[in-house]
Amino acid sequence: MANRFPNILQNKFSSAKASISGAQLLSTTVKRSRNLRVPRRMVLGIGVSFWAQFMNMSASNSIIASARTKGSSAQQILENVEWPEQFPFKDEDFQRFDESSDLLFYESPRFVTHIDDPAIAALTKYYNEAFPPSNTPGVALLDMCSSWVSHFPAGYKQERIAGMGLNEEELKANKVLTEYVVQDLNTNPKLPFEDNSFDVITNVVSVDYLTKPIQVFKEMHRVLKPGGKAIMSFSNRCFWTKAISIWTSTGDADHVMIVGAYFHYAGGFEPPQAVDISPNPGRSDPMYIVHSRKLATA
């Protein structure tokens, strides 16, 4: 049975009274989420347009139906989704509480990790299984939104591992990188690389900061080699003032659908897939991956 985008949101509204205000509704719906854990973040009433939009859409036609049922796994959320014809998000969904320069925000290096050790270990294990073997001739990787550590397997090497980030000191300290670029993707989403350059693109807990995600994902498609893989990983941790409103006002299951939508509407990718690699549910940071490959004929 096909999943229609995005039932996750529709189900949350089913028990809400019409008299509840937008901010109250957002708080209530997040608390009522049962399928995946509630994010440990502040819930802001700044994503109301998103919810209102899908309430209207669900009442109009068959765009929205079940994307998953109670108890479904993250893997099932992106199975056989019936995507709307047009990109379903509005400009205000990508606004942030803090719209100041990201380069200014990241001006000082942060030599810390943004997920806990079990989540890091789970991500590294996934990379070990998903990456091409170390030292494979001709293989190139791009770590987007990179920092002082990429969480790649110990000793992993390729002739080319490029990094992009916002702080040069952090990028200089990243021993896995063979080159790096300092660039704010929210002001300039154009990737400074040739077409068909990379076999793998990674992005660790930073997809939630992208204010121009479709442009960025189109660029990812351009620089990936045919058949190349893009791996977006995320948790429920973030600098909430810098994360987009659609992210801070939704939960883990919704985030899977949102990132899947980026792949779909960018075009030229295989149907995105999701996997929950959370190492200790309820006891450590959750960890989710949404991934896809560039179509071999694209």
pLDDT tens by residue, 120-143: 999 999 999 999 999 999 999 999
Distance CA 31, CA 29 (A): 5
CB atoms inside a 10 Å sphere around CB 31: 11
Residue range 230-257: average pLDDT?
A: 84
Beta pairing class for 179-182 and 160-165 = parallel
**Which residues lie below 8 Å from residue 5, measured CB to CB, with a gap of 6+?**
63, 64, 67, 81, 82, 83, 84, 88, 257, 261
Question: Rounded to whole angstroms, how far apart are CA atoms 143 and 152?
Answer: 10
pTM confidence score: 0.78
The angle formed by the CA atoms of residues 125, 75 and 89, to the nearest 5 degrees, is: 110
Whether the pLDDT of residue 185 is over 80: the answer is yes
| Distant-in-sequence, close-in-space partners of 221: CB < 8 Å, separation ≥ 6 | 266, 267, 268, 269, 294, 298
Pairwise pLDDT comparison (137 vs 43), residue with the higher score: 137
Q: Between 249 and 242, where is the model more confident?
A: 249
CA distance 162 to 158: 10
Q: In this model, does residue 46 exceed pLDDT 60?
A: no
- List residues bridging with 144 in a β-sheet: 203
Q: 56 vs 170, which has greater pLDDT?
A: 170
* 223 in Cβ contact with 198 (< 8 Å): yes
Instruction: With a cut of 60, say whether residue 45 has pLDDT above it.
Output: no
- Give the mean pLDDT of 89-103: 81
End-to-end alpha carbon distance in the chain:
28
In angstroms, how far is CA 40 from the centroid of its own chain?
17
Cα 92-3-26 angle, rounded to 5 deg: 40
Query: Exposed e or buried b for every residue in 111-141, given b needs 16+ CB within 10 A?
Result: eebbbbeebbebbeebbeeebeeeeeeebbb
What pLDDT was estimated at residue 297? Answer: 78
Q: Which of 247, 245, 238, 232 is nearest to 288 (CA)?
A: 232
Q: Are 102 and 252 in contact (CB under 8 A)?
A: no
Taking CA atoms, 22 is separated from 38, 59, 216, in Å, by 18, 18, 30
